[in-house]
Homo-oligomer: A and B are copies of this chain.
Amino acid sequence: MTDLVVRELKQAEWDGWDQWLAFQPWGSPFSASWWLDANCRAFGGHPLLLGVLDGEQLVGGVSLRIMDTGPLHVVRPSMLYNPIVIGAGSAQRRQQILAALLEDMARRKLVVRLLNCTPDMVDLREAVWHHWNLTATWTVLQSLKTWTLKDSLSRDKRRMLTKAQRAEVTARVEPPDADVLHVLLQASILRHKHASTPTREQLHTLVEAAGTHGIQIVVRDVDGVPLSACFAMAHGTRIAYGIWAGTDAIGLTKGAAVAMYVFMLKELQARGYEYLDWCDASYPGYSDFKLEFGGTMTICLAVSREPQWLKTVTVGRLHLSRLMRVVRRR
A122 & B301 in contact (Cβ 8 Å cutoff): no
Residues on B with C-beta less than 8 A from A291 are 91
CA distance A275 to B138 in the complex (A): 24
B138 & A136 in contact (Cβ 8 Å cutoff): no
A287 within 8 A of B: yes
A298 within 8 A of B: yes
Residues on B with C-beta less than 8 A from A129 are 284
B136 & A301 in contact (Cβ 8 Å cutoff): yes
* A residues 255-270 in Cβ contact with B at 8 Å: none
CA distance A301 to B95 in the complex (A): 21
CA distance A246 to B62 in the complex (A): 39
CA distance A284 to B127 in the complex (A): 11
B128, B134, B282, B301: the one within 8 Å of A125 (CB): B282
- CB-nearest residue of chain B to A302: B136
A297 & B123 in contact (Cβ 8 Å cutoff): yes
Residues on B with C-beta less than 8 A from A135 are 134-136
- Chain B nearest Cβ from A123, distance in angstroms: 5
Chain A residues in the interface with B (C-beta under 8 A)? 91-92, 95, 122-123, 125, 128-129, 134-136, 138, 281-282, 284, 287-288, 291, 297-299, 301
Residues on B with C-beta less than 8 A from A138 are 122-123, 125
- CB-nearest residue of chain B to A299: B299
CA distance A298 to B92 in the complex (A): 16
If A125-B282, A282-B128 touch, does A297 touch B136 (CB 8 Å cutoff)?
no
Residues on B with C-beta less than 8 A from A299 are 122, 136, 299, 301
- CB-nearest residue of chain B to A128: B282
A125 & B91 in contact (Cβ 8 Å cutoff): no
Residues on B with C-beta less than 8 A from A288 are 91-92, 95
B95, B134, B281, B287: the one within 8 Å of A136 (CB): B134
A91 & B136 in contact (Cβ 8 Å cutoff): no
- Chain B nearest Cβ from A131, distance in angstroms: 13
If A91-B291, A136-B136 touch, does A122 touch B282 (CB 8 Å cutoff)?
no
Q: Sorted from nearest, which 4 A-B pairs have the closest CB atoms?
A: A136-B136, A299-B299, A123-B297, A91-B291
Residues on B with C-beta less than 8 A from A282 are 125, 128
- Chain B nearest Cβ from A288, distance in angstroms: 6
CA distance A291 to B122 in the complex (A): 13
B91, B134, B281: the one within 8 Å of A297 (CB): B91
A287 & B125 in contact (Cβ 8 Å cutoff): yes
